Structure 1
Amino acid sequence: MTGTPSDPALLGLPWNIPLEQWPEDLFVALPRGISRHVVRFVRLSGRVYAVKEVGERLAGHEYRLLRDLARLDVPAVEAVAVLNGRADETGQPLDSALVTRHLQFSLPYRAVFSGTLRQETLVRLLDALAVLLARLHLAGLYWGDCSLSNTLFRRDAGAFAAYLVDAETGELHPRISEGQRAHDIEIAHVNIYGELLDLEAGGFLHPSIDPLETSAQVCRRYEALWDELTHAEVVEEVEWHRVEARIRRLNALGFDVAEMQIQRKLGTARIIVAPKVVDAGHHQRRLLRLTGLDVEENQARRLLNDLDTYRATHRRPGDDEEIVAHRWLAEVFQPAVRAVPPDLRRKLEPAQIFHEVLDHRWYMSEAADRDVGLPTAVRSYVGNVLAHKPDEKAVITPDLAE
């Protein structure tokens, strides 16, 4: 056994017996995708592990690759151990075994598609898969076997995430080539289409899901995301409106920003963003948790975009998200709202005022081809926009007010 088995009970499993013949009381009934190898789930000391029988060369390759992906922080299952040199009681050799830790609260994409899906959930599922493919390719991984069975889906605090679960055909390179990337997407297209047809033939696929269109949609979403994540954007000076433009384009594609980095070198800067897919209400919950502001979902998304931009450009070593959010509230949001004359504040709620100020700043910066700054945008917004708006209370009818 090679690996980092934290549970000594792994050593006591009947490795001298083919996996198909293990006692049933060791197994846990969990949904799994189709596989060319024997795969079983076992529970030990409260933990669930996936055990796969495969040839020694492939087992070793997949174990090492999963360990590399973990170091690169790529969404994939955790490799625990690989066992070589297995033999039965008569001395006949057995295939090697790869042990991975089961990802809690996850389901194979194939199992998710076998149930009833709302249209908005289907879109988020496809987007999460596109994000996974993009992250793998950014890390230099050629997967070679993307499918509904080889991908796990999990919801985590409102976020939709996809995880690689089978990496035996994967190849890790310093940088993936365009040919490898295109071939990987073509394989994903064919595999997803084939599995959806299989589910449709078995009566497990909802009639509203078209196999060909769904598989093609994954590829389209991936290509749009890949282009947005990888196109060169090097600026002479880090300007907020350029960062804001990057976030807006991701939002237009249906993605949010999970993380943003700004790399400075010799007077220039490069903007790097990591996308994520979120559930309804996620932005409201996150903004309320970080700042105490309780606003509408679209307002929360807009304010969080500005907060994330602030975090990328003003973060200090050791600062966590809550500390940065407190500084943003004190240094950005509250001063902008207080800059509005008291007699005009009743026209809109503070969150809506700040949201519109950010939009106003965006248009001013685009026209000037530079970041005009928040104070300038506030002054212009108050004088040219807010002063001419009716009071919110004045436009609400008495019946509606009641």
Structure 2
Amino acid sequence: MALDMTTARPWPALLDLPWRQRLVDWPEDRLAALPRGLSRHIVRFVRVEGRVVAVKEIKAEIAIREYNMLRLLRRLGQPVVEPIGVVKGRLTKDGEPLDACLLTRHLQFSLPYRAMLSQSLRPETATRLIDALAVLLVRLHLVGFWWGDVSLSNTLFKRSAGEFAAYLVDAETGELHDRLTDGQREHDLDIARVNIAGELMDLQAGGFLGEEHDPVEISDRIIDRYEVLWRELTEIEKFDVGERWRVDERIRRLNSLGFDVGELDITTDFDGATIQIQPKIVDAGHHCRRLLRLTGLDVEDNQARRLLNDLDSYRASKERQNDDEEQVAHDWLMQVYEPVTRAAPPEMRRKIEPAELFHEVLEHRWYMSEAAQRDFPIEDAVADYITKVLPDKPDDSTVVGVDTDEMPVRAER
């Protein structure tokens, strides 16, 4: 049987990988030293022409289905890893059939949740991870995707201005529908609660989460966070005709959560006494789209929100509220953002994304000012941060902590 490779775009260098060997036996010089999350299957990271590719060994029909599902979800604008291709028809040199391999692009600066243990997982960190997972689940449910295996292990996380942004990394159990029923959504939430509680119990058993913290109580947060978001994004709201300002208020609330409203369903009673509104098309990424339009920076939504706040402060400090917004944004980019993000020595820049570095410098300046009870120029904050904080930061782009394969695990789920 000939090797059968399906890819979204031609990448001849993939042919040079040792497809005639089991993935577990691939030579070390082919592998990239990156932290791995838990998986039912063998997963390895390899470097191909300077880029990192995740390779997962699974049955051919599952690989093809997951590859197509990931492509579809990306076309729908969902935060999922980028599928590269599927390799089938693998045989050992002795002619023994091997499973197929699914190839996805490694999400730079992302971390599996267990890799964060090297930085001492605190309860508030676990809470932020669950909040990010709840946002991801809401986004997926809005487009009709039933996950079927919601967990921290099947998610990658990127730092985003002190919070986390979650990306789906495992879609093999997922199904895409025109619209999910309440029962399907609740089923996903039940799966999430059980899986997260089990994962946190694993951490507790390994000594990474204190005994005083209740894994079940922490995992229950995903239900509360999800339900608040889902109501805000989908709930019908009624008010008197004289309160039309509440239409704008609803849109502003959705924008503050990071969602744009593409369409509103607005109806009135026969006697014109009350108005009823419901968002019909809600699109995530409000802040990052605005920042991209103004500056060309493509970052996570929480990072975009923080950068836009600093842009607004810059505009006010320069008394340029009446100037063209795009021109002010260009000047802020040239005079503030780029000097800060380029100030770090080249060997340290890969530790952290530029937008996250900028956010941390702003946080560092605030702490400096609070301690000294006076304002500091951004240049002083940058110098102090690079000297005292950045050298001790973990390198999010490469190895973070210990190999998660060596951590204690209660059971495969």
Aligned CA distance change for structure 1 residues 262 and 172 (closer, same or farther; 3 Å): closer
Deviations 1:178-221 (A, max 9, x none): 22111111111111111111121122224454211111111221
Gapped regions of structure 1 (runs ≥ 5): 296-319, 327-399
Q: TM-score, normalised by structure 1?
A: 0.65
TM superposition shift of 1:85: 1.3
Partner of 1:61: 65
* 1:261 is the counterpart of 2:261: yes
| SS class of match (2:57) | strand
Aligned CA distance change for structure 1 residues 189 and 199 (closer, same or farther; 3 Å): same
Deviations 1:250-307 (A, max 9, x none): 69xxxx4323124267989753555679999975541332573458xxxxxxxxxxxx
> What does residue range 106-117 of structure 1 map to in structure 2 within 5 Å?
106-112=110-116, 115-117=119-121
Identity percentage of aligned residues: 54
Partner of 1:25: 29
Contact in 2 for aligned 1:16/1:86 (Cα 8 Å): yes
Of the structure 1 ranges 121-130 and 166-175, higher mean CA displacement relative to structure 2 is found in 121-130
Q: Aligned letter for 2:248?
A: V
Aligned CA distance change for structure 1 residues 21 and 122 (closer, same or farther; 3 Å): closer
> What does residue range 375-386 of structure 1 map to in structure 2 within 5 Å?
none
* 1:286 is the counterpart of 2:303: no
Length, aligned pairs only:
300
Contact in 1 for aligned 2:6/2:85 (Cα 8 Å): yes
**CA distance in structure 2 between the aligned counterparts of 1:76 and 1:284, rounded to whole angstroms:** 23
Gapped regions of structure 2 (runs ≥ 5): 269-276, 288-299, 318-323, 331-372, 375-413
> What does residue range 219-368 of structure 1 map to in structure 2 within 5 Å?
219-233=223-237, 239-245=244-250, 247-248=252-253, 256-263=256-263, 270-271=278-279, 272-274=281-283, 283=305, 285-290=307-312, 292-293=314-315, 322=326
Of the structure 1 ranges 273-282 and 179-188, higher mean CA displacement relative to structure 2 is found in 273-282
Partner of 2:103: 99
Partner of 1:161: 165
TM superposition shift of 1:99: 0.2
* 1:39 is the counterpart of 2:61: no
| SS class of match (2:263) | strand
TM superposition shift of 1:125: 2.2
> What does residue range 184-203 of structure 1 map to in structure 2 within 5 Å?
184-203=188-207
Aligned CA distance change for structure 1 residues 210 and 29 (closer, same or farther; 3 Å): farther
| SS class of match (1:42) | strand
**Which of 3, 10, 15 is matched with 2:7 structurally?**
3
**CA distance in structure 2 between the aligned counterparts of 1:206 and 1:321, rounded to whole angstroms:** 49
Larger radius of gyration: 1
| SS class of match (1:292) | helix
Q: Aligned letter for 2:114?
A: R
Contact in 2 for aligned 1:81/1:99 (Cα 8 Å): yes
Contact in 1 for aligned 2:128/2:163 (Cα 8 Å): no
Aligned CA distance change for structure 1 residues 118 and 280 (closer, same or farther; 3 Å): farther
**CA distance in structure 2 between the aligned counterparts of 1:180 and 1:6, rounded to whole angstroms:** 38
Q: Aligned letter for 1:263?
A: E
Partner of 1:86: 90
Aligned CA distance change for structure 1 residues 99 and 282 (closer, same or farther; 3 Å): closer
**CA distance in structure 1 between the aligned counterparts of 2:48 and 2:33, rounded to whole angstroms:** 14
Q: Aligned letter for 2:62?
A: L
Q: Aligned letter for 1:72?
A: L
TM superposition shift of 1:137: 0.6
**CA distance in structure 2 between the aligned counterparts of 1:121 and 1:177, rounded to whole angstroms:** 31
| SS class of match (2:258) | strand
Q: Aligned letter for 2:310?
A: L
TM superposition shift of 1:75: 0.6
Contact in 2 for aligned 1:106/1:153 (Cα 8 Å): yes
Q: Aligned letter for 2:247?
A: R
TM superposition shift of 1:123: 3.4
Q: Aligned letter for 2:83?
A: A
**Which of 141, 145, 148 is matched with 1:141 structurally?**
145
**CA distance in structure 2 between the aligned counterparts of 1:138 and 1:321, rounded to whole angstroms:** 32
